Amino acid sequence: MTVRYDVAINAEGWQNEEALRRIVDPLLQATLVELGFGKIESELSLVFTDDKDIRAINGQWRHIDKPTNVLSFPAFPVKPGQQPGPILGDIVLAFETVEREAREENKSFDDHLGHLIVHGLLHLMGYDHQTDEEAEQMEGLEIKILSQIGISNPYSE
């Protein structure tokens, strides 16, 4: 793998690091290959936390006082298709929100987590969903990447 990553488990409920790496590894590889970056050298941090911590982070950085499922913090500004820097950035995920959403959407926890990891990675690679056009592009990439590792379309009902 061309991107090394650290895993920090800061809350109860998450699987152990080895199990999380089994989920992350194919997602990371499929994302990089789909974006044409099979040969990059970079680093990434994944933080698996809880609603309390992500609410504080969301409040501090986005001025939104509520928990969310995933937050991404790029280390360097990058545009879609642009070669990323030596550090991609950080992805932070909240256990309770991921678990609740998976249950509400009748998805497996691991599949929903996989979707959110890909979503976070795409943000680090310069993709966004602020406009309809951006959202369509990003969702299309998510669907394609996830299908490559056997996760069904997260946007289908």
SS3 75: coil
User: What six digits make up the tokens of 147?
Assistant: 């299908």
Confirm whether residue 123 is marked as ligand binding.
Answer: yes
Residue 87 is classified by DSSP as E
Contacting residues for 54 by C-beta, under 8 A, at least 6 apart: 67, 68, 71, 92, 93, 94, 97
Going by C-alpha positions, the residue among 150, 148, 73, 68 that lies closest to residue 110 is 150
* Binding residue numbers for Zn(2+): 119, 123, 129
Which residues are documented as binding site? 119, 123, 129
